[in-house]
Each structure stands twice: as structure tokens, then as C-alpha cells.
Amino acid sequence: MTMDDATTDAESDRPDPLREHLYALVSALAAHDGLLVALDFDGTLAAIADDPDAARIPDATRQAVAALAAEPSVEVAVVSGRELADVRERVGVPDLSYAGNHGLELHTDEYVAHPEARAAQRTVAAAVDDLAADLADVAGAAVEDKGLTATVHFRRVADEHVPAVTDAVESLVGAREDLRLTTGKAVLELRPDVEWDKGAAVRRLEADLVPAGEDWLPMYVGDDTTDEAAFAVLADRGIAVKVGADPATEAPYRVADPEAVRALLDWLGTYGPAFLSGEPGDAPTDPP
């Protein structure tokens, strides 16, 4: 296989641009009573930042989120690996639902935390202390205690030192039966050994937010490997949108970047409710 052949195969495996298949979204909206939009934060609402503390949602995106959430028969939730309080402050839109720590924390009408994860907080805290000591001499490595989970960041670690980070984390988790390890973009995430992920969070959000007896369209937009669990939940019954060009995804559609996410949210807020009511009027089927 030549390099060109490999490139062509990779491109053919990528999900289709949503802008070329907007008719599918329009048709799905028209067949449902309401819309639940769940959104990842980093890499989706906000651009990926080398320093996680520097991640910011643009004002235009925040306004698009708030306008969409204000529409009747629409609910918006942010589903993040960040601690719930952190992502809620960064988004800055109070009238939303939030799922933090990959859904181990949720806030719809009230705050709830997964009881098994809450019981494992001391275990996670001890792992944070151990890893902070093990990685103290690795420049750029950071260990973030998120209460119910922990994240090891290595985006700013020199390439030759990344194996030392991964080895330390894998060694610690491998020696324990009460922790599990997942990966993301330049992060390693430690979680309690609980059967829960963003897919389970989406199911819980549907149960909490969709009115009884109504048929709502669920949509999930995300960019990272942890979002794949949510994409899988929506297979054959919702709209899953991958942010970025990575072909390794369960999502059938993609948009280019967080700015394209903002455009999609603008389009949904402007025209989505009309399609839900079955009266699209002058709403365009041109791509957002």
C-alpha cells in the first residue's frame, strides 16, 4: 500500500461532514417532540489548551448555548471529564444540566454523585499523592485531583519523558483492583472501578430531562476518546457528532472544530424548534 493509498483509506473512514448531511438532522428533528443536546467541553465548546486551567469558552459560543437552552422543548447539558463545579463555572450558563467527572457527578434539578465513586474518594486521593511524588521530577507533568477521579496531564511533557509518565500511572493502577485507567488527548485518567461513563451519563440525562411520554431526539457532540461511549449509546436513535478529523470514532458525522460547533448551535437555536414543530417555514437546509 502506498502512502497515498493509506491517506485515501483514512479519509474514507472518517465520519461524514455534517454540513453535507444536514437533511438527516432536519429529518430527525421533524420526527421528534423535543431535542436534548449534550456537549463535551474541552475540544468541543472550548479549544484545547496546553494548560487545562487556561481553557475558555468564547463569548459567542456561550451565547449560542444559552439561546438554544432557552428554547421550548430543548434541553442542553454539558458532559465533561472535568469536575462538575469546574466545568459549570467555565461554561457560565446556570440554566443548563451538567455532568462532571464523566457523569459520576450530575446536576439537573439537584446535585447527585455516584455513591460508589463517592465511597472511593480516599482511594483516588491516595493515588494522587503517590503519583504527585512519583512525577515530581518530570517537567510539565501535572496530577489533578478532581474529587471523584484524577487526571494526569502530560501535554507539556517532552516526548522523551512521556514514557516515564505512562509507566508510573500504569504501574500504580495495575497494582490495584479498585481503580481503572482511561486515556484521552495527552491525559491519563484514574477512576474508581465503577461501571459508569459518558454513555451512562447520557442515559441518565435522558431519564431526568425528557418529559414522560414524549419522544425527544438526543444529540451528542464531542472530540475525545471518552466521548465514544456516548456516541455508541446514540447509535441508530440519535445524532452523534465528532469534532475534528480523527477517523477512529463511532460517530457518523463530524464538524471541524469548536468554531464549527458554535455555528451548529447557532443553527439549532435559530431553526431547530421550527423543525420540531413540523413548520420549518424558511429555515434553510444549508449547512451551519
Helices (H) and strands (E) in the chain, counts: 10, 13
- For the record, the C-alpha cell of 257 comes out as 472544530
- For the record, the C-alpha cell of 282 comes out as 424558511
Set 40, 223, 224, 227: catalytic member: 40
40 assigned to active site:
yes
- Amino acid symbol at 71: E
User: Whole-angstrom distance between the N-terminal and C-terminal Cα of the chain?
Assistant: 37
Long-range CB pairs of 182-187, under 8 A, 24+ apart, other chains included = 182/225, 182/226, 183/225, 184/81, 184/224, 184/225, 184/226, 185/42, 185/43, 185/48, 185/155, 185/223, 185/224, 185/225, 186/153, 186/154, 186/155, 187/81, 187/151, 187/152, 187/153, 187/154, 187/155
* DSSP state at residue 246: -
Which residues are known to be catalytic? 40
